[in-house]
A and B are shown apart, each in its own frame.
Chain A
Amino acid sequence: MKLKAPESVFSSASFCPGCGHGLAGRLIGEVAEELGIEHKLVTVVDVACCSFHIDYWKFDTIMAAHGRDIPTAVGVKHVRPDSAVMAYMGDGAAYAIGMAETIHAALRNDNICVFVINNSVFGMTGGQMAPTSLPGERTATSPKGKDPARYGTMSGLELVKQMDVAYVARGELIGSSGMVRAKTLIRKAFTHQLNGDGFSLVELLSPCPTNLNLPPVKAKAFVHDEMTKYFPLGEFVDKGGNV
């Protein structure tokens, strides 16, 4: 089987070795080209590591204020209803600073796709403890490990999946099988939007070797073995049935 990287993604130069953003960016490029929407796809990226994609995708891309790419994407969708619109952000933007925007877009069931790259830390700012950090996880601001008695661990996906939305799923950017699965989830999210079903959120568990202070292969094992215990993989809402 011939496999060639999508032409709509032409770099990943600024990401650290082993970063999941390069994987997620390539999958979105592959899906956009397979669905034939690369010329009408408008992507909205957040201010953080994911903002590097603004220079790497050939799609029309907007960088929104930090944590506000979902309302920006909703605005683009209202003005250009024929465009495919997606918001691409990390867990810090979606579940910390932008939690209100995530919840209210889901409440309104706005017809956009949201892709959340969950790496369990605030990546670009230096690996500080995030709401998604696991109990006991050592980060820059929890050097003795996150104290579960004081800080909870949660993912906004658990709230969004209780609402009347089109599609909610979680995958991992780990290993060949995980990548094939993640690509299926991304394709389903876009298909729901093109069908007009409403809000889709796909969370992708991703390694951040630099801020986990692990070699890339061990960071990958951390995501696959530890993160999936707290953030189970699967499809939680699929309103349209089999797309």
Chain B
Amino acid sequence: MSKIRLEITRCKGCGYCVEECPRGALRFSGHISDKGYDTVMVDESLCVACGSCYRVCPDRVFEILE
């Protein structure tokens, strides 16, 4: 079961979550969104669902599922 869900259309590529993630599970994808931002992607094998990304995201991209 998935631990984390990303609503990637909201991402503005600020990078707060990439810096905050204690497991290094988040990184920039290189995919440029319709709004022109380099969005983030998650490596679920590293994610421990701690919620740090949810707390620091200004744009409500993350949902922690467990």
Contacts and interface: CB of A to CB of B under 8 A. Distances in A.
Q: Tell which of B13, B16, B64 has the most Cβ of chain A within 10 Å.
A: B16
A216 B15 CA distance: 7
A217 B15 contact: yes
A20 interface: yes
Interface residues of A, number: 27
Nearest to A209: B14
A176 B60 contact: no
B51 A1 contact: yes
Contacts of B13: 17
Contact size class for B?
A: 20 to 34
A21 B63 CA distance: 19
B4 to A, nearest CB: 9
Given A18-B14, A220-B16, A1 B64 contact: yes
A43 to B, nearest CB: 18
A142 interface: no
Interface string B23-66: 00000000000000100000000000101101111111011111
A5 interface: yes
A9 interface: yes
Contact of A216 (B16, B49, B54, B63): B16
A161 interface: no
Nearest to B62: A3
A37 interface: no
Interface of B: 10, 12-16, 19-20, 37, 49, 51-52, 54-60, 62-66
